[in-house]
Every structure is written in structure tokens, then in C-alpha cells.
């Protein structure tokens, strides 16, 4: 379900022709659909409504303030992973009691800020971090709520870079360690352990690993209960996969149907941290065909967006559907196998490889679909390229939500020492 579709052969975002947006704003350009963004948030909220979970959107998927504000206005909480994301969350007006904070490497300064702002809780990833939070809270004369991030050791069957719940990954602590922490918790008077947290990876399309992980933790909570240790919250993380190509991920409804019984029985409060599920289909990256280059081996479509704008294909070998702004007849005979590549001086700079696309000509535009999550938020200035503009479409209106960077932005923080200037 998303709001990008052809009408009279023109690719629309909601009610607007993307070709018109390109004429006005140039490329590369991220175009977001407000309805798609909010629709996915509400779909999840609705699927789980029986147990009224707190849905904390994962800021790192797309951290634009307008995206955050749109979701916060609808009642979303936010899942943050840095002091920078805390700053964004507060700028977007998110109530601190709807913010949860995970990361294996929280600094003292980051912890202190979050403690002072009274966020809902920290998702703690190691014993050393827990002791550090306790120490900082002691100094500030505060008590902070924490959830322990458990590494449940399940195989999520996704790309290894986005697998986070195996014992070989750096995230969370194992069950035995959690038990030890809970037994020693009286020695840590400035933290109150109120929850457990799992997040086993991203772009997981199968329900089995989710359920396996949740079941393990629910069983564990049962064991703890017998020892007199009561857990209030279970944060089941994010990771829900979306359809980039032909994947058939479980729907929100199916996920809810499987998971809700665990929560009803245990009385635990549920927290969810979806990022990709909410933002993924809500954005496309629009790019212009600069050149068509035929080599002895391959045909390259060279476009004006590169791995600095969308790194997922280069980093994960990820698939993004690519559509022309103007629909073609799409007869099989007209398809040709091409590589869609950016201008960056790296062979890894591609948006698609060996892809069958309708014939495109120089000066035409292409939409790289499902680029709303881990698109702009992973963008960089590599090759001294300006990070591109982002716009949000709401029905028949469009708003710039981030300006295209300028050349001045590029060198803004750089300083030439006086001796190099002959002074
Ligand atoms: C990245 C992340 C998420 C969001 O993952 P998605 O796959 O985008 O849903 C949720 N929780 C934590 C702790 C994360 O690091």
C-alpha cells in the first residue's frame, strides 16, 4: 500500500505529478507521501489496538524533522540511538515519556542529557553501561528507568549487516547475564529495571524468528517472576520487512495476531520500534538520466543520484524497484538489461545492476522506489556532492522539508590554518 501510482501514464505522488515536482525542484530529489507515512503508522497501531502498544518510530530510518513531527502528532513515540537523535526528537516536540534510547555506545554526555529530560527508558546493552548510567544518575541524584536489551540468539534470515540478535553480534546481553544483573540490581540504586528489550535485525520478512525471540523472552520473564522479579514492559523492537521486490513479508495484522496472545496472557506493556515499516514505502528518490553508455560488455544508465544519496544497493546489495516517471508500454521486447549507476568515482556506486528496464533516454527521469527508510538518513557528502532536497506531498500540496545543500554548506566547518596562507 502506497500513494505512488501511474495515472494517465504519469507517476504521481498522492495527487501531484512527480514530473512537475522535478521541474520545480530539480534532481536528485527525495519525494515523500504524507499519507503513506501516516497510513503505515496507523495500520500498525490499529493491528495492535487490543493491547494499546506504544509505537516508537525508529528515528534513524528517516530522521527529517517533518517526518518526526508528522508521526509525533499522530501519537507516535520515538526510538533514538544517539544524543543527536534525542535533540531531533525534542525539536519535533516528542514528549520525553514517549522516547526510548538504545545504542551500544552511549557517552556520558548523551546519558546525562537523556536522564535530565526524563525519557521513558534507556535500552541498556551491557553491564558496563548499566553501571555507568547508575553512576551518572547517582551524581545527578536521579533514578532512571531502564530496559535490558536481550540478545536472544535467533537467526533472522536477513543481510548479515542488519542481523542484530545473534550471539556473535555486538548488541544486547545474553539471558544468563540478564539474570545476574537482575539478582544484583539492589547494588544499583539509581536505575530501576522496568523492562526487557529485543531487536533482532532489520528487513525480516518471516514471522518465525520474531516469534521465536518473543517466546524465549516471555518464557524467561516467567522464570524471573517465580524469583520475585517483575517486568513491566516488553519492547519487541522493529525489523518488520517490507516489499522491495517480490518479498511477501508478514502483514501488521498477521504479526499482531501471533504476538498479542503473549501479551494478553502476561499483562506486559508492549513497545514497538518500527522504522522501515513506517517510512520505507513513503519515499522515492527521483533522478535524471545524464548519459546512456554502451560498453562492449554492458549498458550503463548514468544518473545524477549516487551512493551518497542512497547507499543501500552499494552497502547491502539491496534491490529498489526503478520506474520511469512516464509509463511506457512495457512490452517485453522493449526491455533491456542495464546497470543504473551514479556519478561517483567508485565501482560500488550503483542503484541497480543487470536490471531489465524499459528503454530510457538521456534527459528522462527515474524514480527509485521504497527509498523512504535508510535513504536520506544515510546520505553523505562523498565526492563533495551536495545532499539533495527533500519534499513532502500532502494530497495536492507539496512542502520542502529540507533544502538542497549549497556549496557554502560543503566547506562550512573547514578551516585552513594561517601558516598555509603564508601568514
Ligand atoms: C534500527 C532499529 C530499529 C528499527 O529497525 P527497522 O528495521 O527499521 O524497523 C528498532 N530498534 C532498534 C534498537 C534499532 O536499532
Per-residue pLDDT of 243-277, as tens digits, reads: 999 999 999 999 999 999 999 989 999 999 999 99
What number does the ligand 1 atom closest to the CA of 273 have?
10
Measured from the CB, is residue 355 less than 6 Å from ligand 1?
no
Burial class (CB in 10 A: 0-12, 13-18, 19+), 94: buried
d(CA 33, CA 12): 10
Substitution site in 239, 276, 312 for ligand 1 pocket (most atoms within 8 Å of beta carbon): 239
- Closest residue by Cα to residue 57 from 21, 12, 105, 89: 89
User: pLDDT tens across 380-411, in order?
Assistant: 999 999 999 999 999 999 999 999 999 999 99
Measured from the CB, is residue 375 less than 6 Å from ligand 1?
no
| Range 34-279 classified under CATH 3.20.20.10 | yes
Measured from the CB, is residue 172 less than 6 Å from ligand 1?
no
- pTM value is 0.96
Which residues are part of the catalytic machinery? 345
d(CA 10, CA 84): 39
Domain made up of 4-31+280-411: CATH architecture: Beta Barrel (2.40)
User: pLDDT tens across 110-134, in order?
Assistant: 999 999 999 999 999 999 999 999 9
Measured from the CB, is residue 349 less than 6 Å from ligand 1?
no
What number does the ligand 1 atom closest to the CA of 123 have?
13
What's the pLDDT at 160?
A: 87
251 CA from centroid of ligand 1 (Å) = 17
d(CA 59, CA 103): 13
Question: DSSP string of 33-69?
Answer: EHHHHHHHHHHHHHHTGGG--EEEEEGGG---HHHHH
CATH 2.40.37.10 domain position(s) in the chain: 4-31+280-411
Name the β-bridge partners of 303. 289
Length of the chain: 423
Backbone φ, ψ for residue 270 (5° rounding): -100, 135
CATH 3.20.20.10 domain position(s) in the chain: 34-279
Backbone φ, ψ for residue 132 (5° rounding): -70, -45
Amino acid at each position: 500500500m502506497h500513494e505512488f501510482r501511474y495515472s494517465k501514464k504519469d507517476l504521481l505522488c498522492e495527487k501531484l505529478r512527480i514530473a512537475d515536482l522535478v521541474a520545480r525542484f530539480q534532481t536528485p530529489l527525495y519525494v515523500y507521501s504524507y499519507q503513506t507515512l501516516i497510513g503505515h503508522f496507523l495500520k500498525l497501531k490499529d493491528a495492535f489496538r487490543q493491547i494499546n502498544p506504544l509505537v516508537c518510530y525508529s528515528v534513524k530510518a528517516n530522521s527529517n524533522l517533518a517526518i518526526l513531527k508528522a508521526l509525533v502528532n499522530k501519537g507516535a513515540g520515538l526510538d533514538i540511538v544517539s544524543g543527536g537523535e534525542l535533540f531531533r526528537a525534542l525539536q519535533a516536540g516528542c514528549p520525553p515519556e514517549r522516547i526510548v534510547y538504545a545504542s551500544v555506545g552511549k557517552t556520558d554526555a548523551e546519558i546525562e542529557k537523556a536522564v535530565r529530560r526524563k525519557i521513558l527508558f534507556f535500552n541498556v546493552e551491557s553491564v558496563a553501561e548499566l553501571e555507568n548510567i547508575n553512576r551518572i544518575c547517582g551524581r545527578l541524584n536521579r533514578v532512571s528507568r531502564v530496559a535490558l536489551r536481550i540478545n536472544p540468539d535467533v537467526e533472522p534470515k536477513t543481510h548479515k549487516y542488519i542481523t542484530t540478535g545473534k550471539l556473535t553480534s555486538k548488541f544486547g546481553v545474553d539471558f544468563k547475564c540478564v539474570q545476574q544483573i537482575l539478582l544484583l540490581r539492589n547494588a544499583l540504586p539509581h536505575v530501576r529495571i522496568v523492562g526487557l528489550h529485543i531487536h533482532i535485525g532489520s528487513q525480516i520478512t518471516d514471522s518465525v524468528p520474531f516469534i521465536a525471540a518473543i517466546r524465549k523472552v516471555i518464557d524467561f520473564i516467567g522464570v524471573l517472576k517465580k524469583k520475585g522479579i517483575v517486568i513491566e514492559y516488553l519492547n519487541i523492537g522493529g525489523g518488520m520487512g517490507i516489499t522491495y521486490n517480490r518479498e511477501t513479508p508478514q502483514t501488521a495484522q498477521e504479526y499482531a495476531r501471533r504476538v498479542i496472545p503473549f501479551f494478553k496472557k502476561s499483562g506486559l506493556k508492549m513497545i514497538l520500534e518500527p522504522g522501515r515499516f513506517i517510512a520505507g514505502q513513503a519515499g522515492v528518490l527521483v533522478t535524471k538520466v545524464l548519459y546512456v553508455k554502451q560498453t562492449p560488455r554492458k549498458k550503463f544508465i548514468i544518473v545524477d543520484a549516487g551512493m551518497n544519496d542512497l547507499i543501500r544497493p552499494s552497502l547491502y546489495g539491496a534491490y529498489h524497484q526503478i520506474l520511469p516517471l512516464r509509463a511506457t508500454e512495457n512490452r517485453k521486447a522493449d526491455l533491456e538489461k542495464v546497470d543504473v549507476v551514479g556519478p561517483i568515482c567508485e565501482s560500488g556506486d550503483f542503484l541497480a545492476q543487470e536490471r531489465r528496464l524499459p528503454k530510457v533516454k538521456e534527459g528522462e527521469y527515474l524514480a527509485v522506489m521504497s527509498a523512504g527508510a535508510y535513504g536520506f538518513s544515510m546520505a553523505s557528502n562523498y565526492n563533495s556532492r551536495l545532499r539533495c532536497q527533500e519534499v513532502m506531498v500532502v494530497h495536492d500540496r507539496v512542502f520542502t522539508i529540507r533544502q538542497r545543500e549549497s556549496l557554502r554548506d560543503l566547506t562550512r566547518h573547514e578551516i585552513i590554518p594561517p601558516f598555509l596562507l603564508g601568514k
